[in-house]
Amino acid sequence: MAKAKKPTFRTPRLSAVYPRLNSPDTKYNKHGTYKADGRTKIADAQSTIKAVQEVAKKHIGKPLPLKKNACWEYEKITDEDTGEERETGFVVFKLRVKNRMVTDKKTKQEQLWDRKPAMFSASGKPVPKAKVGAGSEYAVTFEIYEGKDGDGNPIVNLQPVAVQIFKLVEFQSGGADADPSRYGIEAEEGWEPEEGDEDEGQDEGNGDDAGSDDSSSDEEENTDF
C-alpha cells in the first residue's frame, strides 16, 4: 500500500527574517538547518495559525500557546527609555527544516539528506541560486511535522518545502545587504572601483552563498521576481 502523501500548507506573503535558504545554518546543527522565517500582520496570519492549531489539537491534545510557541510568536519591541515591551502588530512564523543523516536502503550506507526548500520566482520559474536576504518577500509552502521532543512530549514544527519569491533583497558575502539605501547610503561623487573589481573578495567570509557555484547565467541572476 502506497504511503499517504503528507499534506502541505501555505503562508501568506511574508517579509523574510534572517533567512537561510542558499546554504544551511550549521551553528546548532552540524548537518545544517534551512530557515524561511518571516513576519506578517496579525490579521493576515490568522488562517495559517488556525490550520496549524487544528493539527496541534489532534497531535498534542490542545492548541499551542497563542502568542509564542515553536511555530510562531507575536513580535515585540523594547522601549529604550522605559525597558517595557510592546507588540508591533506582526507575527513571525518560524519555518525551519534540519538536514539529517539517513541510511540508504540498498547500500546500507549513511548519507546526508539535504532538505533545501525549492525556490521559485513570482511567475513560478525555478531560481535555486537566488540570494535571498532579510527583507525579501515570499510565501512559504510547508509541512507540519508531528513528533516528540527528547522527553517524549508531542510537538509540532513548521518545515518549509518551497518558497515563492515576490521581492528579492539580495545579501552579500558576510551576510551584508546588497541594497545601499537600507544603510542610508546615497550616491555621491568620490571613489569608485575599477571595472571588474566590484566582486573582488566576494567569495570570502561566511555569506549564505559561501561555497556555492557562481556560474549561473545572466538570465538566472536577473530573474523577474
Domain borders along the chain are 13-167
The pLDDT of residue 164 is 97
Assign domain 13-167 one CATH number from 3.30.200.20, 2.30.42.10, 2.40.50.140, 3.90.226.10: 2.40.50.140
What distance in Å separates the CA atoms of residue 38 and residue 136, rounded to the nearest whole number? 9
pTM above 0.85, yes or no: no
To the nearest 10°, the Cα dihedral for 211, 103, 6, 132?
A: -10
Give the pLDDT confidence score for residue 179 in this predicted structure. 65
Are 168 and 124 in contact by the 8 Å Cβ rule? The answer is no
pLDDT at res. 2: 59
pLDDT at residue 198 in the model: 47
User: Which residue, among 182, 160, 163, 161, has the nearest Cα to 171 in the 3D structure?
Assistant: 182
Reported as type and span, the H/E element at residue 52 is helix 42-60
Residue 55 is predicted with a pLDDT of 97
Residues 136, 168: contact at Cβ < 8 Å?
yes
Instruction: Give the per-residue pLDDT at 3.
Output: 65
Continuous segment of H or E residues that includes residue 61: none
pLDDT of residue 74: 98
pLDDT at site 178: 62
Per-position pLDDT tens, the chain of length 225 = 556 678 999 999 999 999 999 999 999 999 999 999 999 999 999 999 999 999 999 999 999 999 999 999 999 999 988 999 999 999 999 999 999 999 988 888 999 999 999 999 999 999 999 999 999 999 999 999 999 999 999 999 999 999 999 999 998 765 555 666 666 777 777 776 676 544 444 443 344 443 333 333 333 344 455
